[in-house]
């Protein structure tokens, strides 16, 4: 029996390392910017519009800490397209629906299991007009989506359109 465990351990060390949980942080700020050529107060993630793309594997567990660095506004982030089948609705980000928003100067960790379906999803602010004020970005589940994609020269280009 002891020998069997030894062999099991040996083979386990040969497996490629897998990421147990995808962990990251998004810092939410009010800043002046002109993403559409007009200076205005925007809300961004990590100083950018769109915010950084989040890339995960199908079915991966995520823990995304939202740090609200705004002085006057609460925030929540909705993970658009995620089903939350295993984790329940509490990390869906619907402010005043599935959670109280994250107050200014504090942080909160969204924990959920992402969908099994590869493709391009998005995250965005889900309180007041924060989505149109700039808060959002791509949420990519890696994998083969070629059955749905058309051929493109020069590789993939990620475009984030807002109105």
Ligand X SMILES: *[C@@H]1O[C@H](CO)[C@@H](O)[C@H](O)[C@H]1NC(C)=O
State which residue, 26 or 135, has the beta carbon closest to ligand X: 26
State which residue, 50 or 101, has the beta carbon closest to ligand X: 50
State which residue, 51 or 101, has the beta carbon closest to ligand X: 51
Burial string for 81-97 (b: 16+ CB within 10 Å, else e) reads ebebeebeeebbbebee
Assign residue 102 a region (left: φ > 0; alpha: ψ between -120 and 50; beta: otherwise).
beta
Minimum distance of ligand X from residue 55's CB (angstroms): 9
Q: Cis omega (within 30 of 0) on the bond before 50?
A: yes
Return the CA Rg of the chain: 19
Minimum distance of ligand X from residue 24's CB (angstroms): 4
Beta bridge partners of 111: 63
Minimum distance of ligand X from residue 138's CB (angstroms): 10
Of residues 40 through 69, those in contact with ligand X by CB under 6 A are: 46, 52, 54
Q: Which residue is nearest to ligand X (CB)?
A: 52
Minimum distance of ligand X from residue 52's CB (angstroms): 4
Of residues 6 through 35, those in contact with ligand X by CB under 6 A are: 24-27
Binding residues for ligand X (CB under 6 A): 24-27, 46, 52, 54
């Amino acid at each position: 029996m002891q020998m069997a465990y030894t062999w099991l351990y040996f083979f386990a060390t040969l497996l490629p390392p897998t990421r147990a949980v995808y962990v990251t942080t998004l810092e939410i700020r009010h800043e002046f910017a002109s993403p559409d050529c007009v200076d205005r107060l925007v809300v961004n993630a990590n100083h950018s519009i769109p915010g950084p793309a989040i890339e995960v594997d199908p079915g991966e567990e995520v823990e995304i800490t939202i740090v609200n660095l705004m002085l006057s506004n609460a925030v929540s982030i909705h993970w658009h397209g995620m089903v939350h089948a295993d984790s329940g609705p509490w990390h869906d980000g619907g402010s005043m629906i599935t959670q109280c928003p994250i107050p200014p100067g504090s942080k909160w960790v969204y924990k959920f299991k992402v969908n099994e379906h590869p493709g391009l999803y998005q995250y965005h602010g889900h309180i007041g007009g924060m989505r149109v004020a700039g808060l959002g970005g791509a949420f990519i589940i890696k994998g083969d989506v070629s059955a749905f994609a058309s051929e493109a020269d020069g590789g993939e280009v990620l475009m984030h359109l807002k109105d």
